[in-house]
Amino acid sequence: MCHHPDPAIWIPQVIRFIAGNLPVLDRKGEEWDHMFTTAFQFGCEALVALGQAEETGRGARPLPHPRLPGILPRWDDICVTVLSLAHQCGLLSYRLPDGCESPEASAWWDPHAVAVLPQPNIKTEHWLGPAWAAPQVLPVLRALGLIESGQWTATAETVLWREEPPEWRLDIAADPRFRHALDRTVNDMPADIRHELARLVTITEADVTEGLIRRKAHQEGLRAEHGVSRVICLPLTRDSVRQGLICLRIHDLDWLFFSNWRWSDGWLFPLERKRAMEIWRDSLAIRMRRAVVAQLHPDRPEFAV
């Protein structure tokens, strides 16, 4: 079992880091703007979950009298939030085994920039690759228990599986621990989750007919509003509607895991679900969803992608 650091140690540093690195909606800095960007959305949600802000349509607004809630958000979700935000802000760079940035990462920032790339200051350890973190990030990662003595900790391993930096080429599904977790996830699956999963991987002819009617009505509404000549729609067929439904169901399957499952605990009890943040784009949860569907419904491979 992983030992999680004392919240009294990491909470103040996490709050300062997140609050100081979110975009502000106005020059007065009275509201944080998530800009509909994943990492910033995580950051705003974390400040709300930590009793420091209230949610707004565009992000979060600081509370005049912030106070930690009785039920704290999950430590691992906060870790993912900090890692995502630091990476989004250019304060954390995952590196290739030789210490260099990937060509994709370099091109994303500025393909024409000429600068000396700082060497990694987080060493490879526990099958995790090297990384560089800005000075203001390092103490937060230490407080969260993710780094120690300039290298990743054992506790950090499965947290970073949720990020799955492409530079490291992690083969998570091949790890024996993943197979063990898969067996536990399948065997301990609550009845309501099992029922919902079975429903989501089943698309009936009635579902397709209903979807076809709904899509046709949507297209007709667009033509009525904007004019027939201005609305170009692909031909609707039962097959195209079915493919669309598969995409929607995969999205819902992912959310079934994002909301109800974590690596360290498996399926969450109701109280733990309240502590869970809405961490989407969770690579580990998506990998587990694919493996679970493939095992329970091998005849539905379209839902295991």
Q: Are residues 160 and 247 in the same domain?
A: no
Angle between helix axes 7-21 and 38-49 (nearest 10 degrees) is 130
Quick check: 217 pLDDT over 70? yes
Q: Are residues 107 and 209 in the same domain?
A: no
Q: Give the model's pLDDT for residue 107.
A: 72
Q: Cα 136 vs. chain centroid, distance in angstroms?
A: 23
- Domain-ending residue, one of 170, 204, 227: 170
- Report the SS3 class of residue 102: coil
Report the predicted TM-score, pTM, of the whole model to 2 decimal places. Answer: 0.93
- Domain-ending residue, one of 170, 199, 226: 170
Q: What is the pLDDT of residues 109-124, one digit of tens each?
A: 655 555 678 999 999 9
Quick check: 39 pLDDT over 80? yes
In a domain, 1, yes or no: no
| Gap between the Cα atoms of 74 and 143, Å rounded | 15
Q: Are residues 187 and 153 in the same domain?
A: no
Number of structural domains the chain divides into = 2
- Domain-ending residue, one of 170, 196, 222: 170
Q: Which domain holds residue 251?
A: 182-303
Q: Are residues 186 and 165 in the same domain?
A: no
Q: Give the model's pLDDT for residue 110.
A: 59
Q: Cα 64 vs. chain centroid, distance in angstroms?
A: 29
In a domain, 2, yes or no: no
In a domain, 229, yes or no: yes
| Gap between the Cα atoms of 19 and 42, Å rounded | 12
In a domain, 266, yes or no: yes
H or E segment to which residue 148 belongs: strand 147-148
83 vs 39, 133, 185, CA distance in Å? Answer: 9, 10, 26
Q: What is the pLDDT of residues 269-290, one digit of tens each?
A: 999 999 999 999 999 999 999 9
Residue 137, both tokens:
């990030």
Q: Are residues 206 and 95 in the same domain?
A: no
| Gap between the Cα atoms of 93 and 99, Å rounded | 10
Ramachandran class of 32: left when φ > 0, alpha when ψ lies in -120 to 50, beta otherwise: beta
In a domain, 35, yes or no: yes
In a domain, 224, yes or no: yes
In a domain, 177, yes or no: no
Q: Which residues contact 115 (CB under 8 A, 6 or more apart)?
A: none
Q: Are residues 162 and 202 in the same domain?
A: no
Q: Are residues 26 and 91 in the same domain?
A: yes
Q: Give the model's pLDDT for residue 92.
A: 98
Percent of the chain with pLDDT over 70: 96
Q: Are residues 161 and 13 in the same domain?
A: yes
Q: Are residues 41 and 189 in the same domain?
A: no
Q: Given pLDDT bands bounded at 50, 70 and 90, which one contains residue 30?
A: confident
Buried b (16+ CB within 10 A) or exposed e, 86-102: bbbbebbbbbbeeeebe
